[in-house]
Amino acid sequence: MNANGIRTFEPEWAWEADMPPASIVQAGKTLYLSGQIALAPDGRFVGEDDLTAQAEQIFANIEAVLGRAGATMGHVVKMVTYYTVEMTPARVQAYWAVRGRYFGAYRPASTGVQVAGLIDPRCLLEIELIAVLP
C-alpha cells in the first residue's frame, strides 16, 4: 500500500505480469478492476467468435480478481462499462444470460457501449467494474 492508501495486488497469472495496468487497485474500501478480456489464467484466448464463451471466461476472471481483495460479485456496485464490438440482439441476450448466472437476482449498475475494436481483434467483449468492500 502506498502513502495515499492505494494498494495494487500482485499478478497471479503469467500474462498479467506482461500487462502495464494492474488488474485490480484498492483505494480505501473501493476496488477498481481494469477491463477484463477472455484470457484464461494460462494465457490462452477463450471463445474466438463465441460471445458466450468469452463472457463466461471474463466473469470467471472477474470473480478470481475480486477474490484477491476478499471481494465477491455481491460487492460489485457498477460494471463501469462493458464494451462489445457487435451489439446485435442475439449477442446482447447471450451476454445478459451469462451475466445473470454470475449475479443472480442482484443487479449492479452498468453501461454498455459498442466499439469498433478492442485490444485484441479476437475480443468481442471487455468488462471493467467497481466494487466496494463492507
Is residue 114's pLDDT more than 90?
yes
Is residue 89's pLDDT more than 90?
yes
User: What domains does the chain contain, in order, with CATH numbers?
Assistant: 6-132 (3.30.1330.40)
End-to-end CA distance of the chain: 19
Is residue 110's pLDDT more than 80?
yes
Percent of the chain with pLDDT over 70: 99
Q: List, for residues 62-78, the tens digit of each pLDDT value.
A: 999 999 999 999 999 99
pTM of the entire predicted model: 0.93
Is residue 34's pLDDT more than 90?
yes
DSSP SS3 for 15? helix
CA distance 81 to 69: 21
Is residue 1's pLDDT more than 80?
no
